[in-house]
Amino acid sequence: MNISIIGAGNVGKALAHSWQAAGHTLVFGVKQPSDPKHQGLPVDTVISAIEQAEVVVLATTWQATQELVESHQQALAGKILVDATNPLMGDLSGLSVPSDTSAGELVATWAPGAKVVKAFNTTGFNIMAEPLVKGTATFMPVAGDDADAKATVLALAKDLGFDAVDYGPLAGARQLEHFALVWISLAYRQGLGRDFGFALLRK
């Protein structure tokens, strides 16, 4: 599958490495492909990366997301658009969006022609690179309104090694973004560090 990741930071690189190992074709969409910091990565302009992709992953800062998505509405139309962002407050104490919406739902309003799916926001990039923790697959909830798009993203999450679970419609992103705060608070505020994940234990 052709996957474009918008943003070449830690999250994007972690996802790309594992998807490439699973046989998917990856390109990063960045503002300045010639920037030396991208050396060695498969990079292209944002618009070109979107146009050649079947699945587009937003691995951007929340502050940059609206302008980026709205300025590429036409190119995103019909694409599976995975929102991996978290709308965090600067001090990581909460979310910067109202309680009656979510980053995922806002992304859907900014790209009305895209099939938006919320995923890859509930754990750290190091766990995305290695989802198995002492032999147990980390839990990865996936939410979206388009059944086929969500099934594709669930399969991509499984390719990474996650225990991927259908979390229902896109409105579920409201809970998933708050769930991300649990991981962040434990990792940073409570001093647990980054080397842990959540698991769904079934009887």
Give, as one character, the DSSP assignment of residue 78. T
Taking 90 as the threshold, does the pLDDT of residue 192 lie above it?
Answer: yes
Taking 90 as the threshold, does the pLDDT of residue 91 lie above it?
Answer: no
Q: Given pLDDT bands bounded at 50, 70 and 90, which one contains residue 28?
A: very high
Query: What is the per-residue pLDDT for 174?
Result: 97
Taking 90 as the threshold, does the pLDDT of residue 140 lie above it?
Answer: yes
CA distance 176 to 142: 9
Tokens of 196: 């842990």
Query: What is the per-residue pLDDT for 92?
Result: 84
Tokens of 47: 């618009």
Query: What is the per-residue pLDDT for 93?
Result: 84
CA distance 121 to 56: 15
pLDDT over 90, % of the chain: 97
Q: Given pLDDT bands bounded at 50, 70 and 90, which one contains residue 60?
A: very high
CA distance 43 to 182: 33
- The pTM of the full predicted model, rounded to 2 decimals, is 0.96
Q: Residues 1-18: what's their mean pLDDT?
A: 95
- Residue 22's Cα: distance from chain center in Å? 17
Could you give the angle at the alpha carbon of 95 between the alpha carbons of 86 and 62, nearest 5°? 35
CA distance 107 to 102: 9
Contact criterion met (CB below 8 Å) for 36 and 61: no
DSSP letters for 113-159 = TSEEEE-S-SS-HHHHH--EETTEEPEEEEEES-HHHHHHHHHHHHH
Query: What is the per-residue pLDDT for 90?
Result: 85
Whose tokens are 């690179």? That residue is 129
pLDDT over 70, % of the chain: 100
Query: What is the per-residue pLDDT for 105?
Result: 98
pLDDT in tens, 174-189: 999 999 999 999 999 8
Q: Residues 130-158: what's their mean pLDDT?
A: 97
Taking 90 as the threshold, does the pLDDT of residue 46 lie above it?
Answer: yes
Mean pLDDT across the chain, nearest whole number? 96
Query: What is the per-residue pLDDT for 27?
Result: 97
Q: Given pLDDT bands bounded at 50, 70 and 90, which one contains residue 122?
A: very high
Q: Residues 95-105: what's their mean pLDDT?
A: 95
Cβ contacts of 120 within 8 Å, gap of 6 or more: 11, 15, 57, 59, 82, 84, 128, 140, 157
**Residues found in the chain:** 203
Whose tokens are 């490439």? That residue is 20
Q: Residues 47-66: what's their mean pLDDT?
A: 96
Question: How far from each other are the two terminal CA atoms of the chain, in whole angstroms?
Answer: 34
